[in-house]
């Protein structure tokens, strides 16, 4: 695995030449050798700059910091920029590290006193004293192997090394011991010739300074104070002008000639400084050009900071979990806590090797997996990409079975096999979980009678009490759902997008249960879920909102409303749906059924993986944690939640805001009913396309098998 490098700066302003020689030059070189992380250390800034104005300014400063770094040569494809304050887990790691270092040890770090003096602090704040501990957390939370720093920060990294060794000694080897890499000119003196270059001291040349400003600053530079005229021999050693020539003038012959003549009293300060200004401007020209190109790309800097922060937070969360486990803090992982909150997770994935081997059993026992769904798209992928089904396809084709019949046979066998693995869970939960779903042919979405006949046939073919048959919640599907439930068939209602249609689904369930109770038929083992599709709602709504936001004929306020609503419609829709669920299943009508043994028809959140890369990977999953609900997750989302999920019941958050989302849509003349109808039509069409693809996959697979025999 490639070793990691951590670098970064506080967002206190633009970068200057001192930053370049101290760390930037090393960063640019090392980014090609290491996986590079660039921290925008806005929490560190608070140790010396903590006014509200400072904090508000830090966002703009962060942008300038990234632009300067990109201009200098940091490649956004190689380096990950991230915001320290966007990763709250760093604070918790810092807390653990604070107990591994003493106050006298911190007081021996010389740069802390300098920082307190520069910030004009009469007394050292606790945060400033602990600055190196927070810095250690920054470095170790990503397990960085290399830290390029200036001379003044080398002592901080040494403390980090001590903390890492101490933690590893006490709790086990979690951290690598980072190494320090310093630049060729670790500290660059400022233009005043006395103190190191610093924005606060007014002695800095910034990477973004224009050529005229650079020349003005160079001409004001401190040189040899003894030399009052050009014919007096001058001192080169320690002379700031020649320190800068050595650092930035690529014409070595010119530098040596200037040094020689300066020492002989044959050249004046004006010529030496003018040539230095030319050299520095020549050095800065490509930096300024690259910087301007990145600055012109609207939103680019903000996007890479957001993406980087999300990426690094996952790494830090993993580090924190490893630390806690090593220290003896034993706690349930996220999926178990989700189950404790009353939400069941079902796998949106099925494949023969999953249930025939040990993996499915492991997921059930260790990761609280409580169900599974199947669909043609998943089967098509498995048939095309593996040989798991080749023998069955060969056998069934030899009996002249059609592709449709072969597919159904394969699907029924997989559903039966997976249901058998889930059977123990089904029994232990008294029929509340452990279900595997099978889907009727999508061509029947508008055929009530055909849906009923197919659902009966699949139910009998699977012959397992912990199977559900999927029926779409189209207008024609509602009566089929009611009829099948009244016959005692477990139904998973799919293609559900709107709250009004959801109310029809709940009514169908209650009516069917009332019919069975009236007929004195058993109801205690009948289960149903209503699969409410989530992210697809935003996919549709956001396109309409983008159009509204870009419509120049609309008032600016309404265009801003459209921009503000992006990514909010789906969650609002689901929360209002859950509100309807609670209303119906807390009613006296359901209470009477419950006394007879009828169970809740749980809402199931489907399509909860994030489609828009602008949102976190668990955006929808986290927002819709709710008691008495189900969330179907594809493997990658399931793994992500196990890794960094944060289970809290959030379904009731800001319901007033959820309702206002739809008021705002109406104000923008965006019809929510139209969104639902479009999604239903699109969903039905895509299901048909997936079904046809799986039939083609079966046909093509058989053809390829015949060819290779």
- Tens of pLDDT, residue by residue over 60-97, are 999 999 999 999 999 998 999 999 999 999 999 999 99
State the residue for tokens 């992380």: 37
* Least confident piece of the model among 18-27, 414-423, 549-558, 634-643: 18-27
- Rounded CA gap, 315 and 93, in Å? 13
In this predicted structure, the answer to whether residue 129 has a pLDDT above a threshold of 70 is yes
Within-domain flag for 195: no
pLDDT exceeding 70 applies to what percent of the chain?
Answer: 96
> In terms of domains, do 508 and 397 share one?
yes
In this predicted structure, the answer to whether residue 176 has a pLDDT above a threshold of 90 is yes
In this predicted structure, the answer to whether residue 153 has a pLDDT above a threshold of 90 is no
> In terms of domains, do 462 and 527 share one?
yes
| Mean per-residue pLDDT over the chain, rounded | 91
The CATH number of residue 264's host domain is 1.10.240.10
- Rounded CA gap, 13 and 68, in Å? 10
Contacts of 514 (CB under 8 A, 6+ apart): 593
> In terms of domains, do 504 and 622 share one?
yes
Distances in whole angstroms, Cα of residue 448 to Cα of each of 476, 489, 527, 528, 579: 5, 16, 21, 18, 29
> In terms of domains, do 263 and 307 share one?
no
Contacts of 490 (CB under 8 A, 6+ apart): 435, 459, 465, 466, 467, 468, 469, 526, 527, 528
Q: Which of 2, 72, 1, 66 is CA-nearest to residue 32?
A: 2
pLDDT at 339: 87
Q: Which of 151, 150, 180, 148 is CA-nearest to residue 164?
A: 180
* Least confident piece of the model among 167-171, 626-630, 671-675, 703-707: 703-707
The band of 362, judged by pLDDT with boundaries at 50, 70 and 90, is very high
CA angle 672, 675, 678 (to 5 degrees): 150
pLDDT at 116: 59
Contact call for residues 14 and 206 (beta carbons, < 8 A): yes
> In terms of domains, do 350 and 463 share one?
yes
The residue with greater pLDDT, 705 or 157, is 157
Show the tokens assigned to 370: 């409580």
Among 42-56, 368-382, 488-502, the range of highest mean pLDDT: 488-502
**Rounded (to 5) percent helix, strand, coil in the chain:** 60, 10, 30
pLDDT at 120: 59
pLDDT at 187: 77
**Residue 5, φ and ψ in degrees, nearest 5:** -120, 135
The residue with greater pLDDT, 384 or 476, is 476
Contact call for residues 25 and 56 (beta carbons, < 8 A): no
Residue 468's DSSP bridge partners are: 437
* Span 609-655, pLDDT tens digits: 988 888 999 999 999 999 999 999 999 999 999 988 989 999 999 89
Q: Where are the beta strands (DSSP E) in 504-612?
A: 528-533, 602-606
The band of 193, judged by pLDDT with boundaries at 50, 70 and 90, is confident
Contacts of 547 (CB under 8 A, 6+ apart): none
In this predicted structure, the answer to whether residue 379 has a pLDDT above a threshold of 70 is yes
CA atoms within 13 A on the CB side of 532: 32
Neighbour order of strands in the sheet with 146-149: 79-83, 35-40, 4-9, 146-149, 179-182
> In terms of domains, do 120 and 248 share one?
no
Three-state DSSP state, 55? helix
pLDDT at 272: 93
CA atoms within 13 A on the CB side of 443: 5
- Rounded CA gap, 505 and 74, in Å? 56
CA angle 611, 612, 615 (to 5 degrees): 115
In this predicted structure, the answer to whether residue 429 has a pLDDT above a threshold of 90 is no
- Rounded CA gap, 113 and 120, in Å? 10
> In terms of domains, do 220 and 154 share one?
no
CA 181 to mean position of chain CA atoms: 31
pLDDT exceeding 90 applies to what percent of the chain?
Answer: 70
Within-domain flag for 50: yes
> In terms of domains, do 381 and 486 share one?
yes
- Rounded CA gap, 347 and 339, in Å? 14
Q: How many domains, in total, are found in the chain?
A: 3
Show the tokens assigned to 579: 């509100």
Within-domain flag for 323: no
Within-domain flag for 283: yes
Structural domain containing residue 245: 211-296
pLDDT at 625: 96
User: How is residue 22 annotated by DSSP?
Assistant: I
Contact call for residues 350 and 436 (beta carbons, < 8 A): yes
pLDDT at 378: 79
Contact call for residues 148 and 135 (beta carbons, < 8 A): no
CA angle 436, 439, 445 (to 5 degrees): 150
pLDDT at 697: 87
Three-state DSSP state, 222? coil
User: How is residue 523 annotated by DSSP?
Assistant: -
The residue with greater pLDDT, 23 or 249, is 249
- Rounded CA gap, 320 and 290, in Å? 37
- Rounded CA gap, 201 and 146, in Å? 30
Classify residue 604 by burial, with Cβ atoms within 10 Å: 0-12, 13-18, 19+.
Answer: buried
The CATH number of residue 24's host domain is 3.40.50.620
Q: Which of 144, 108, 74, 561 is CA-nearest to residue 287?
A: 74
Q: Which of 407, 276, 339, 360 is CA-nearest to residue 701?
A: 407
- Rounded CA gap, 10 and 140, in Å? 18
In this predicted structure, the answer to whether residue 440 has a pLDDT above a threshold of 90 is yes
In this predicted structure, the answer to whether residue 111 has a pLDDT above a threshold of 90 is no
pLDDT at 544: 95
The band of 1, judged by pLDDT with boundaries at 50, 70 and 90, is low
The band of 119, judged by pLDDT with boundaries at 50, 70 and 90, is low
pLDDT at 4: 94
> In terms of domains, do 518 and 653 share one?
yes
- Rounded CA gap, 165 and 170, in Å? 9
> In terms of domains, do 282 and 309 share one?
no
> In terms of domains, do 273 and 366 share one?
no
- Rounded CA gap, 425 and 599, in Å? 17
State the residue for tokens 């039905």: 684
Among 122-131, 153-162, 598-607, the range of highest mean pLDDT: 598-607
The CATH number of residue 573's host domain is 3.20.20.70
> Of 287, 316, 345, which one is at a domain's C-terminal end?
316
pLDDT at 149: 79
Q: What is the dihedral of CA 347, 352, 355, 360, to 10 degrees?
A: -40
Within-domain flag for 62: yes
pLDDT at 374: 81
pLDDT at 332: 67
> Of 251, 285, 316, which one is at a domain's C-terminal end?
316
Contacts of 518 (CB under 8 A, 6+ apart): none
* Span 544-573, pLDDT tens digits: 999 999 999 999 999 999 999 999 999 999
In this predicted structure, the answer to whether residue 183 has a pLDDT above a threshold of 80 is no
In this structure, the number of other CB atoms found within 10 A of the CB of residue 526 comes to: 24
The residue with greater pLDDT, 182 or 46, is 46
In this predicted structure, the answer to whether residue 355 has a pLDDT above a threshold of 70 is yes
The band of 270, judged by pLDDT with boundaries at 50, 70 and 90, is very high
Within-domain flag for 393: yes
Contact call for residues 640 and 630 (beta carbons, < 8 A): no
Q: What DSSP string describes 616-680?
A: -TTHHHHHT--TTEEEEE-HHHHHHHHHH------TTTTHHHHHHHHHHHHHTT--HHHHHHHHH
Euclidean distance between the first and the last CA atom of the chain, given in angstroms as a whole number: 43
Within-domain flag for 324: no
> In terms of domains, do 435 and 584 share one?
yes
* Least confident piece of the model among 111-115, 470-474, 499-503, 565-569: 111-115
In this structure, the number of other CB atoms found within 10 A of the CB of residue 233 comes to: 14
Among 105-109, 333-337, 385-389, 484-488, the range of highest mean pLDDT: 484-488
pLDDT at 559: 94
pLDDT at 112: 72
Show the tokens assigned to 317: 């969360």
Within-domain flag for 124: yes
């Amino acid at each position: 695995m490639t070793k990691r490098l951590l670098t970064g700066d506080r967002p206190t302003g633009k970068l200057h030449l001192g930053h370049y020689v101290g760390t930037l030059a090393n960063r640019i070189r090392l980014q090609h050798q290491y996986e590079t992380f660039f921290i925008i250390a806005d929490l560190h800034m608070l140790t010396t700059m903590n006014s509200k104005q400072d904090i508000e300014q830090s966002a703009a400063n962060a942008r300038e910091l990234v632009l300067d770094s990109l201009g200098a040569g940091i490649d956004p494809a190689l380096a990950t920029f991230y915001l320290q304050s966007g990763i709250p887990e760093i604070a918790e790691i810092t807390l653990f590290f604070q107990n591994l270092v003493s106050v006298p040890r911190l007081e021996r770090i010389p740069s802390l006193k300098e920082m307190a003096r520069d910030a004009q602090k009469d007394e050292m704040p606790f945060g400033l004293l602990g600055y190196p501990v927070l810095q250690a957390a920054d470095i170790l939370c990503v397990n960085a192997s290399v830290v390029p720093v200036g001379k003044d920060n080398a002592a901080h990294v040494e403390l980090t090394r001590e903390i890492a060794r101490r933690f590893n000694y006490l709790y086990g080897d979690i951290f690598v011991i980072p190494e320090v890499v310093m630049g060729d000119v670790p500290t660059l003196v400022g233009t005043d010739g006395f103190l190191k270059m610093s924005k606060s001291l007014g002695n800095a040349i910034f990477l973004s300074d224009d050529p005229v400003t650079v020349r003005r600053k160079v001409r004001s530079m401190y040189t040899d104070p003894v030399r009052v005229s050009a014919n007096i021999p001058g001192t080169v050693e320690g002379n700031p002008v020649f320190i800068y020539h050595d650092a930035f003038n690529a014409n070595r012959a010119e530098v040596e000639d200037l040094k020689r003549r300066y020492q002989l009293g044959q050249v004046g300060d004006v010529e030496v400084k003018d040539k230095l200004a030319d050299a520095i401007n020549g050095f800065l020209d490509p930096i300024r050009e690259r910087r301007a190109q990145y600055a012109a790309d609207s939103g680019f800097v903000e996007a890479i900071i957001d993406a980087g922060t999300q990426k690094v937070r996952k790494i830090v969360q993993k580090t924190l979990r490893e630390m806690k486990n090593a220290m003896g803090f034993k706690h349930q992982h996220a999926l178990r806590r989700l189950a404790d909150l009353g939400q069941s997770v079902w796998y949106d994935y099925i494949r023969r090797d999953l249930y025939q081997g040990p993996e499915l059993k492991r997921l059930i026992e260790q990761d609280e997996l409580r169900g599974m769904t199947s669909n043609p798209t998943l089967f098509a992928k498995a048939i095309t990409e593996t040989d798991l089904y080749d023998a069955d396809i060969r056998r069934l084709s030899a009996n002249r079975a059609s592709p449709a019949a072969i597919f159904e046979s394969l699907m029924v066998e997989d559903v039966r096999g997976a249901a058998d693995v889930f059977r123990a869970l089904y029994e232990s939960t008294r029929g509340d979980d452990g279900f595997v779903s099978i889907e009727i042919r999508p061509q029947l979405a508008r055929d009530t009678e055909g849906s009923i006949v197919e659902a009966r046939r699949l139910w009998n073919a699977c012959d397992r009490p912990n199977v559900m048959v999927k029926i779409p919640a189209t207008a024609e599907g509602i009566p089929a759902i009611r009829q099948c439930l009244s016959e005692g068939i477990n139904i998973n209602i799919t293609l559900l997008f709107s709250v009004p249609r959801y109310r029809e689904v709940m009514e169908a369930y209650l009516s069917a249960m009332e019919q069975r109770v009236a007929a004195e038929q058993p109801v205690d083992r009948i289960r149903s879920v209503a699969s409410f599709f989530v992210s697809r709602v935003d996919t549709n709504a956001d396109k309409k909102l983008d159009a509204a936001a870009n419509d120049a004929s609309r008032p600016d306020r309404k265009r801003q409303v459209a921009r503000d609503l992006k990514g909010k419609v789906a969650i609002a829709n689901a929360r209002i749906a859950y509100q309807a669920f609670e209303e119906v299943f807390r009613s006296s009508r359901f209470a009477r059924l419950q006394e007879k043994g009828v169970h809740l028809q749980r809402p199931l959140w489907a399509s909860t993986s994030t489609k828009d890369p602008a949102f976190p990977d668990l955006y929808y999953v986290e927002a819709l944690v709710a008691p008495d609900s189900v969330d179907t997750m594809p493997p990658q989302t399931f793994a992500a939640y196990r890794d960094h999920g944060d289970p809290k019941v959030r379904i009731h958050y800001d319901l007033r805001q959820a309702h206002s989302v739809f008021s705002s849509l109406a104000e923008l003349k965006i019809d929510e009913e139209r969104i639902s109808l479009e999604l239903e039509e699109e969903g039905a069409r895509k299901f048909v396309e997936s079904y046809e693809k799986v039939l083609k996959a079966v046909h093509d697979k058989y053809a390829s098998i015949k060819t290779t025999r």
